[in-house]
Structure 1
Amino acid sequence: MLEVKNLCKHFGGIKAVDGATFTVEKGAITALIGPNGAGKTTAFNCISRTAAPTSGEVWLDGERIDHLRPHKITAKGLSRTFQISRNLGDMTVIENVIVQSRVDGLRGLFRPAMSQEEKDKAMSILDFLGITRIAHEDGHNLSYGQKKLMDLAALLMSDPKIILLDEPAGGVNPSLMEEIVGHIRALNDKGLTVLIVEHNMDLIMRLSHKVVVMAHGKVICAGTPDVVRKDPHVLDAYLGGVLEDEAA
């Protein structure tokens, strides 16, 4: 479904992403992992076009999208979350979710700010995530974990066929982390394709069908969790470093 070819993003002399190439198969949960500074989030930014790639190509369902604006990419069926919630604090949860609805162009100027259809759809998504109780709570009153769930709800309003999740369980308590994992599995069971960046290796190895490993802006390994776990390049660049830190 998603194909990244020789993707590069340079900031002056710094090569944050340096010729990364990988694929995300339709209906799979694919993880993008690597140490801090590996280029994972920058790759996400280039794929979703929140940052313009220096070079390379991004293809979605056989169509090249790296030249499109972010809202056009969303309309093609690719949506993403961010590490830090970008909610609008003075708006309620349901308003924050509906903001992510598909845009109808000029026709949208002649309809209510929130249609009943959008309200019903948003409440259905909040119900799926178990957070209807906070539907009318202001965004600035939410806990960190609630913001993570709201971001996931907003993501689903655009009817995506592939979602990019940037550390969806980062910073949340273990109970909520398992809840989020359950939601991701349930969405995948319904046919949604998932690409996820996450530092929790236990979560990644349990959740993913495929793992892509980046280091220094390059892809150094890609395969099943079992294959990646045993790869010597991965152990040296990422997993080994983590184990050494824990031992120290």
Structure 2
Amino acid sequence: MLEVKNLCKHYGGIRAVDGASFKVEKGSITALIGPNGAGKTTAFNCISRTVVPTSGEVWLDGERIDNLRPHKITAKGLSRTFQISRNLADMTVLENVIVQARCRGFADLFRPAVSAEERDKAMSILDFLGITRIAYEDGHNLSYGQKKLMDLAALLMADPKIILLDEPAGGVNPTLLEEIVGHIRALNAKGLTVLIVEHNMDLIMRLSHRVVVMAHGRVICDGTPDVVRRDPHVLEAYLGGVLEEEAA
């Protein structure tokens, strides 16, 4: 469904992403992992074009999208979250979910503030995520975990084919983490393709069908969780310390 070809993003002499190539198969949960500074989030930004890549190509369902504006990419079926929630603090959760999902550009300025259809759809998604109780809470009243769930709800409003989740478990307590894992699995079971950046290796290894490992802006390994766990380049670049801690 998603193919990244020789993607590069340079900031002067710094090569944040340096010729990265990988694929995300339709219907899969694929993880993008690596140490801090590996280029994972920058790759996400280039795929969604919140950052313009220096070079390379991004293809979605056989169509090149790296030359499109972000709202056009969303309209094509690719939506993403960010590490830090971008909620509008003075709006309710319901309003945040609706307004963040609009992706028709200036045309949205001439639509009603909140239509009955949008309200019903948003409430249905909040119900699926188990957070209808906070639908009318202002964004600034939410806990960190609730903001993560709100961001996920906003993603689903756009009816995406593939979602990119940037550290959905970051800063979340263990109970809510299991809820988020359950939601991701349920969405994937319904046919939604998932690409996820995450540092929680336990989550990645039990959730993902495939794992892509980046280091220094490049892809150094691409395979099943079991293959990645045993790859010597991965152990050297990233997982070694994590696995030693687990063993201890």
TM-score normalised by the chain length of structure 1: 0.96
- 2:124 alignment counterpart: 124
CA distance in 2, matches of 1:135, 1:99: 14
- Give the alignment of 1:7-156 within 5 angstroms: 7-104=7-104, 108-156=108-156
Any conservation in 2 of the 1:101–1:118 contact (CA below 8 Å)? no
- State the shift of 1:179 in Å: 0.4
Could you say what secondary structure the match of 1:99 adopts?
helix
Task: Give unmatched runs, 5+ long, in structure 1.
Answer: none
Letter in 2 for 1:210: R
CA distance in 2, matches of 1:166, 1:87: 15
Letter in 2 for 1:29: I
Task: Give unmatched runs, 5+ long, in structure 2.
Answer: none
TM-score normalised by the chain length of structure 2: 0.96
CA distance in 1, matches of 2:29, 2:126: 22
CA distance in 2, matches of 1:217, 1:190: 33
- State the shift of 1:7 in Å: 0.3
1:115-163 CA distances to partner (integer Å, 9 max, x unpaired)?
A: 0000000000000000000000000000000000000000111000000
CA distance in 2, matches of 1:56, 1:170: 29
CA distance in 2, matches of 1:198, 1:106: 34
Could you say what secondary structure the match of 2:100 adopts?
coil
Could you say what secondary structure the match of 1:83 adopts?
coil
CA distance in 2, matches of 1:107, 1:17: 34
CA distance in 1, matches of 2:4, 2:68: 15
- State the shift of 1:112 in Å: 1.8
Closer/same/farther in 2, CA of residues 21 and 93 from structure 1, 3 Å limit: same
Identity %: 88
Letter in 2 for 1:70: P
